[in-house]
Structure 1
Amino acid sequence: MYSTKLIYALIFSAILTACSSSSSKPIQNKNGITVSLPSDDTYAAKQVRLEVITDRIIRVSSSAQNPMPSTSSLMISDQLPSPPTWEKVETKDSIGVKTAEVQAWISTSTGEVTFKDASGKLLLQEAKDGKAFSPPADGLQDDQVYTIQQRFKSPSDEALYGLGQQQTGLFNYKGYHVDLTQYNSVVAVPFLVSSRNYGILWDNYSITKFGDARDPLPLSELRLYDATGKEGFLTATYANDQTRPDEGLIEQEGHIAYTFLEDLKKIPKNFDMANGVATWQGKLQARKNGEHHFHMTYSGYIKVWADGKLLVDRWRESWNPGPLVFNLTLNTEKATDFKIEWIPESTQSFVSMKFLPPDPYRTKETFTFRSEAGKTLDYYFVAGKNMDDLISGYRQLTGKAQVMPKWAMGFWQSRERYKTQEELLNTVAEYRKRNIPLDNIVQDWSYWPEDAWGSHDFDPARFPDPTGMIDQVHDQHHAHIMISVWPKFYEGIEHYRQFDEKGWLYKQNIINRQRDWIGEGYISTFYDAYNPGARKLFWKQINEKLYKKGNDAWWLDATEPDILSNASIKHRKSLMHPTALGSATEYFNGYPLVNAKGIYNGQRATNPHKRVFILTRSAFPGIQRYGAATWSGDISARFDELEQQIPAGLNFSLSGLPYWTTDIGGFFVEDKYDRPDPEGEALEEWRELNTRWYQYGTFTPLYRAHGQYPYREVFNIAPEGHPAYESIVFYNRLRYRLMPYIYSLTGKIHHEDYTIMRPLVMDFGEDTAVREIDDQFMFGPSILVNPVYQYKATSRDVYFPKGAGWFDLLTGDYQEGGVQKSVSAPYGKIPLYVPSGSILPLGPAIQYADEKPAEEITLFVYGGKNGSFELYEDEGTNYNYEQGKFSIIPITYNDGDKTLTIGDRKGNFQGMLKTRTFRIIMVEKDRPVAYAPELTTKHIIKYTGKAIKTIIAN
């Protein structure tokens, strides 16, 4: 007979079992399913939800609360497509959703999610115990907010790209720690694409670590030996005479961490940072064998040696430190000689070094997203057959990129800065006088009175007639003008008071009485762009002061937001806390998105017939829907920095953001270039650096020069007749000849979610040799770009991908694919190659993008494969294309019978050419033809909009 206690225990157990069974029963709605995961752990996942967005996109949400809190997203478009037909599927221990293209399964016991294609092939799987919730960062007191983490399994041969714009020189992020923190020249975009043809959009606005998400460790976690061989520390020497680096204050140090402004207090007081040199030397010995990843921030000159080999030799402007990553194999048995040399150049310069030891699980077998703060763990899985599909999925989620105004695809001239109205107008006039194509002039910061930052007024002493100046740019010179606008306001000015009375300013910088660097320094702060009312007021101010004067485009600077440069992350959060939506910790990375939103919505409401153009220093998922492009920030004028921009731009493009540019020539310059003017060897190096950068910049989505003194105009870089001048002008004119090609791709970006700056993995992904190639790319479908980024180089190695033959654009010479070889790259030439099957349209010689319609187009057709191209045109400056007012002329080439077909024109728009002439130039393997847009040809087609076919064999 059972005891009473036993009976009660059995009843209680049965109740628990029933409750458990009931709570884990999935909830189904029209978009997906939710599974509950009972747990007494405060920080365990309580619910996991799958939501079907499209046949290829599944949203995964998880929460440590039950029920899951409702959240809204800034990055996700409010115009998502209607969900497709899907079905719920179940097994003994899992439940999922299945569409025509993908399946997603939740383990009912662990909550882990697995993704498969329609046939059941594994695409991606969350790692065991991969979900994690913990108390939020910075001691944030909010029981609705957590630090969140999701780890995924990853095969060792997988390559991972995207994630915005890093400045570490890395391309494939597999195995690395990536810090997604908005910073001057570093852009955090948490969208990942994989060589396995899936993407992950991580919907979170806080600082996020990706990949190997461990926090890097101080050097003291290694076994350190000083210069005498004693274990414990490195020998640090702070010398005030750079010619005698071994004579100075000697310290024993194991932690190099002069990272932020507040850390500079730890610099030895007697060290002359402006003139001295600091060294750290000794030996490093591992506590675990294998490759160690070293993470640095630096400014000034920095060098690093290991066992006598120079690993790092870089420079960056003292006040703007940048990141750097290098690898070093260490072992536990033998110490490695190690030395760091740092020349700060300034009393405000920075250096730090940390490392990550080997950990195969975190680097080879898995990757992780870890974010400081969020109410839910939220991400979107995107499947596709190729990377274009993944980027299309990203834009389905976050919004279409617009067709940029045609003039924006021309050349932009800028410098820091045109100090007077006369300087700006003289610059545009000189371009026109020399017949060098130009579409846009940029007025950088400080055009306002010195004490009135945020007034958006022109200083009348230097710009006596800004409206007349803008009219002259437009009417006399047929160009456009972009104006620098910061979200920054000096205390006390009228615009400051308008924000302040509404409570729409971040006030901590005011409380701190923090002064900026202008004159004696002024106290300022930024507006809270997370507040809808504040965004409207910001637009109202710049509309009244700037847009009504005729300014065409917006340069949004310091949009990280950079309220105080080089402040610690904790201090930066305090300067933008609280936002209108919540804590700065939770919304740290999203500022550039909402700031651009206000300008875009404001201009479209004010003038719905003129396309918005925004250039912003930072970006975030969804910013492409606001007419925004991004530039790579305040970078250095050096060859190694030019090299680094290539993978930075390629990963930015793989993040789904199509419009990117870099300061041609680099922004910051070393003393040898600007005190007072470069001369001798420095002058020739300066000219060559600009030549190579202009060559590269010609084939980036936006073509724009900018930087500090020396002046960046081609006629200030070198005189006419100099190889630098001749090369820069040649590629400028080539860019304008390519305008029918470039603008067609701009249309394709909007209508087909295309990407114009294309890493080789996008088009040749089946060729595994291209996975690590970070210094070559396709500019659209038809131009392989191979930048030259080494001083005095006259050749470079080029890999010619499999699957195509390759023609030298400038000579017509042919090269088989699947090989790597050294190619000629003399001073004036960037190697450019066209794949077989390409159709490359070139227009007439023009001085600005809309000078005249392309009544005659030369089609270069490259034989060896079938090919096609769609010539896109619209009205160029308005949004009528959104209502279908555009045209497409399909052009196809059949290599078998050498037939070119120009198909029926589709669509129409006001001002469309009814007829035009196509001149056909055939380039074949055994009949090379050099680029020359005025070549004579017997193949001339008069086109009236109806399909026409012609045989074009030579």
Structure 2
Amino acid sequence: MKKKIILLIPLFILSISIPIVANTLDEPYIPAWDIYVNSWERKNNILTIETVEGTLTVKPYDFGALHFHLTPLNQNKDKSSYAVIEDFPSADFEVEEDDNDLILITDKYKFVLHKFTGNYSFYNSEGKLLLKEASNKREPVKEDSIAPRCLFKMMPDEALYGLGQFRDNALNLRGKKRELVQFNTQAAVPVIYSTAGWGLFWDNPSRTVFEDNAKGMSFVSDFGNKLDYYLFTGNTLDKLISSYRQLTGKAPMIPYWSLGYHQSRNKYATQDEVLNIAEKMNHEDIQMSSIFIDYFYWQRYGTGSHKFDETIFPDPGGMLKILHDKYQTKAVITVWPAFKKGTAHYDELESKGMLLDGARALDGMIYDVFNPEARQIYWKQILPLVKTGLDGWFLDGPEPDHVSSFLPVNTFAGPAVTVRNLYPLLHVENFYNNLLELYPNTRPYILTRCAWASQQRTGAAIWSGDIPTTFDELQKQITAGLNFVATGIPYWTTDIGGYSGGDPGEEEYRELFMRWFEYGTFCPVFRSHGRRYPGDTKAPNELWAYGKEVQDICTRYINLRYTLMPYIYTLTGDVTHKDYTPMRLLAFDFPGDKNIQDCKDQFMYGPSFLVCPVLSAGVASRDVYLPGGNKWIDFWTGEIYNGGQNIVAAASKDKIPLYIKSGAIVPVYKDSDKTNTPDDIIKILIYKGSDGKFELYKDDGKSYEYKNNSYAYIPFYWDDKMNELVIDTQKGNYNKGKSQEFQLVLIDGEYENIHSVPVKKVVKYTGFKQTLKL
């Protein structure tokens, strides 16, 4: 039924602007109306409210999200979104009304709109106030764009995380201000979550300023014709991210091999150089899953030609065959969204008006990624390169590279300033969707330099760009990465050692590279890259260039990475099947511990590993906080510590402080061979001190057959008091009934090294429940 409310003073004051002025929210706010709500009706399972400002639609989703969409009186209705994957059915809800409020109620939350002020309060299903909208003053400016803005009041003790990758060394975003724009080394993702149990996706791709101060938490965008955002509820960060991914797209499985070690530098310039490096890596017994071929392999053909110059890469197919067959190594190649004037591809796009004239990257102009036809032409042009048999795609410069030259142009979607943050999303989606169409049962591997909301649905990994080579930068990268993955985009990495500079012959830099390498072992993607001193693209970046000590230590960490692959691949399976986040700021797992809300130099890698990077030169120890609630075991020695305390952790050159949560069940390979498959013999490390559980994930590692139930989750349950392990019935059909050997290892005290702990029992598992005493 449509409800009517008498409007006493109908006065619209929504801003219409192209605001280059400072984004501020004035106070106090006095409404320019006596009543805000004119009428409301429930239609098509959406609550539509006619207000003095325009039409407000409120749509609840059954996975704990709510869409808030306000179209001003003088604006066209536009409900399009680049991020939301489909128009999901609305959740069941009830509407109640009293003299003061209009109330929408679902089984997960309550939305209470005050009929006189126009502000609302957002409660969870238990009646706890999550978020309260404060004054929203909107000043009229001109024509066909508004300055969308909102201001919220929050609780003093809640912490905020997300918004993407920023180099300001901020973790908890309370009291912080950020300008959400894209450029090399910064990725703006307008998604934020609170430890109080709510999240928000601000669905606006123009420049947006976030600020939290004494007035409250605000978002203010430069352009838009609507006020459009989504709220999420959930009592953990994992549940909030799950709600966000259901709205904007699940993260697909990535290739198994992509979780290993990637060798790269700026740059391997010839085919001979690529093969010589592969041969020496093999000779030095340094494992790698891929080698990267960086830019200008096209040389005489020009940027955007998308082909190898035969004078430096005479036989790309033969090179790939050697890499694949002899070295069991993949090849990843750089591509750019740019075209040099005078090339055939430039001419084709330019003749159709599909280059953004003046917008530069490298030595060319970028294509109009907002134009669907331009995207298909780009793909048609690059298709011959794709079909050479390359294994992965290194999408460089998609911010786009020279942002200042991009902003003045007009795109297919309108002025670049109105959609400025979307370029990386549309570029990587173009690649991913076309790769799927070409190879429908092969998982693509894509690494790119920037991201926007919903990019997790492409499975692409993001690296943090051309960063400096200092310990200070390493610290900044830790907070940048943790807040980036906290937005819901799980795969992220840095150039190990930093990008710009660093002399492998200097002892000071060798120490930094080694400490960064130790940290990189526990990032979602493990890749060394950089333009080393003197920066002429010929300086080495291979482990042997850093001296024998560094080579030996870093090789051991590569081997550790491959040993941990059953654990790491399970985290990847959990990303897809359970909306998990592998690299985790501590609030994911210890939300009740206030000591960790702004812990900038520690994180969890999966449910078991507490990783504590060394961030200073010349030290052999560092302070570590062990979160409360359980015991912690030193991974290197087996020494046991109580949680809830600070300790001084030993950190010799070859040791990153690394602790395992008591009760952890960690599957590892019995050796560190990169050619291991999910079906090889796996050791199950069980850390005494608490009950524990873990579900080991397996599939074929390369196809999409997991979508047809061809995967396995094998549940392990540890009863610490009874010293009893239950291996439960397999979930999923992958290799069900086929025998697999598990070697059970009980960790109960100190040891010389993890490999010295004897196997307690050997089990043949065929997919059915077993109960074992240890």
Please indicate, yes or no, whether the TM-score normalized by the shorter chain is above 0.5: yes
- The corresponding residue for 1:62 is 70
User: Are 1:699 and 2:525 matched, yes or no?
Assistant: no
CA shift digits 1:730-752 (9 cap, x unpaired): 11111100000000110000000
Once the two structures are TM-superposed, the CA of residue 64 in structure 1 deviates from its matched residue by 2.2
Query: How far apart in 2 are the matches of 1:431 and 1:851?
Result: 18
Q: 2:38 aligns with which of 24, 29, 33?
A: 24
Is 1:892 matched up with 2:717? yes
Task: State whether structure 2 residue 47 is matched by structure 1 residue 36.
Answer: no
Determine the C-alpha separation between the residues in 2 that align with 1:457 and 1:443.
12
Q: Residues 383-462 of structure 1 correspond to what in structure 2 (within 5 A)? A: 383-450=233-300, 452-462=302-312
Q: Give the aligned partner of residue 340 of structure 1.
A: none
| Residue 488 (structure 1) shift | 0.4
Distance 1:23 1:729, change over 3 A: closer
2:762 is the counterpart of 1:937: no
> How far did 1:378 drift?
0.6
In structure 2, give the amino acid aligned to 1:918.
Answer: F
Distance in 1 (CA, whole Å) between partners of 2:167 and 2:248 is 25
RMSD (Å) for aligned C-alpha atoms: 2.1
Q: How does 1:25-104 map to 2 (within 5 A)?
A: 25-38=39-52, 45-65=53-73, 69-78=77-86, 81-104=88-111
Asked if residue 857 in structure 1 is aligned to residue 691 in structure 2, the reply is no
Paired position in structure 2 for 1:120 = 127
1:836, 1:131 → 2: CA distance? 52
Instruction: Identify unmatched segments of 5+ residues in structure 2.
Output: 1-5, 12-33, 533-538
Q: Structure 1 pair 154/68, CA: closer, same or farther in 2 (3 Å)?
A: farther
CA contact (8 A) 2:37 2:115 kept: no
Q: Which residue of 2 aligns with 1:304?
A: none
Q: Which residue of 1 aligns with 2:30?
A: none
Distance (whole Å) between structure 2 residues aligned to residue 22 and residue 58 of structure 1: 21
The 3 A distance-change label for structure 1 pair 757 and 580 is same
The list of structure 1 runs, each at least 4 consecutive aligned residues, that deviate by more than 6 angstroms after superposition, is: 14-23
Whichever residue aligns with residue 950 of structure 1, its letter is L
Alignment-derived partner of residue 556 in structure 1: 395
Aligned with 1:24: secondary structure? strand
Paired positions, count: 742
Provide the residue aligned with 1:607 in structure 2: 439
**How far apart in 2 are the matches of 1:863 and 1:82?**
46
| Residue 912 of structure 1, CA deviation | 6.9
Classify the secondary structure of the residue corresponding to 1:419. coil
Query: Which residue of 666, 671, 680 corresponds with 1:845?
Result: 671
Residue 541 of structure 2: aligned partner: 712
CA contact (8 A) 1:862 1:923 kept: yes
Q: Which amino acid aligns with 1:685?
A: E
Gap regions ≥5 residues in structure 1: 1-13, 39-44, 137-142, 213-362
SS in 1 for 2:222: strand
Deviation at residue 37 of structure 1 after TM alignment:
2.2
Report the equivalent of 1:949. Answer: 771
1:862–1:944 Cα change, 3 Å: same
**Residues 461-496 of structure 1 deviation map (CA, whole Å, 9 limit, x = unaligned):** 111111211121112211111110000000121111
1:908 Cα offset (Å): 2.1
Quote the residue 1:866 is aligned against: 691
Shift of 1:822: 1.1
Counterpart check, 1:757 vs 2:765 = no
1:806 corresponds to: 632
Displacement after TM superposition at 1:853 (Å): 4.6
Q: Does 1:543 align with 2:367?
A: no
Matching residue of 1:793: 619
Q: How far apart, in 2, do the equivalents of 1:820 and 1:18 lie?
A: 60
Q: Structure 1 residue 914 and structure 2 residue 738: aligned? A: yes
Could you say what secondary structure the match of 1:550 adopts? coil
DSSP-derived class of the 1:946 partner: coil
CA displacement 1:200-221 (0-9 Å, x = unmatched): 0000000111014xxxxxxxxx
d(CA) in 2 for partners of 1:765, 1:587: 36
Q: Give the deviation of 1:447 after TM superposition.
A: 0.9
Contact conserved, 1:761 with 1:770, CA < 8 A, in 2?
yes
For 2:139 and 2:528, the matched residues in 1 are separated by: 46
Match of residue 529 from structure 1: 369
1:238 maps to what in 2?
none
Q: Give the TM-score normalised by structure 2.
A: 0.93
Do the aligned partners of 2:612 and 2:658 also contact (CA within 8 Å) in 1?
Answer: yes
- Give the match's secondary structure for 1:539: helix
**Equivalent residues in 2 for 1:128-527, closer than 5 Å:** 129-130=135-136, 132=138, 134-135=140-141, 143-212=143-212, 363-450=213-300, 452-509=302-359, 522=363, 524-527=364-367
Secondary structure of the corresponding residue to residue 411 of structure 2: coil
Which entry has the higher C-alpha Rg, 1 or 2? 1
CA 1:496 to 1:858, structure 2 compared with 1: closer, same or farther past 3 Å? Answer: same
Any conservation in 2 of the 1:125–1:153 contact (CA below 8 Å)?
Answer: yes
After superposition, the C-alpha distances for 1:808-850 in whole angstroms (9 at most, x for unaligned) are 01111000000011111011110100001100111132442x4
Residue 318 of structure 1 aligns with which residue? none
What is the distance in 1 between the residues matched to 2:414 and 2:745? 60
Matches of 1:899 and 1:18, distance apart in 2: 71
Q: SS state of the match for residue 696, structure 1? A: helix
Contact preservation (8 Å) 1:96, 1:106: yes
Q: CA deviation at 1:147?
A: 1.6
Counterpart AA for 2:769: A
CA distance in 2, matches of 1:194, 1:591: 28
How far does the alpha carbon of each residue in 1:781-823 deviate from its partner, in whole angstroms, 9 at most, with x for none? 0100000010111101100001110000111100000001111
Displacement of 1:134 in angstroms is 4.7
Aligned pair in 2 of structure 1 residues 631, 55: CA closer, same or farther (>3 Å)? closer
Letter in 1 for 2:121: T
The change in CA–CA distance for 1:843 and 1:851 in structure 2 (over 3 A counts) is closer
TM-aligned CA distance change 1:131 to 1:627, over 3 Å = farther
Assess if the C-alpha contact under 8 Å between 1:443 and 1:482 holds in 2. yes
Tell me how far 1:585 sits from its aligned partner: 1.4
Question: Deviation per CA, 1:357-393, whole angstroms, max 9, x where unpaired?
Answer: xxxxxx1340110111111111100010110011101
Q: How far did residue 854 of structure 1 move? A: 4.0
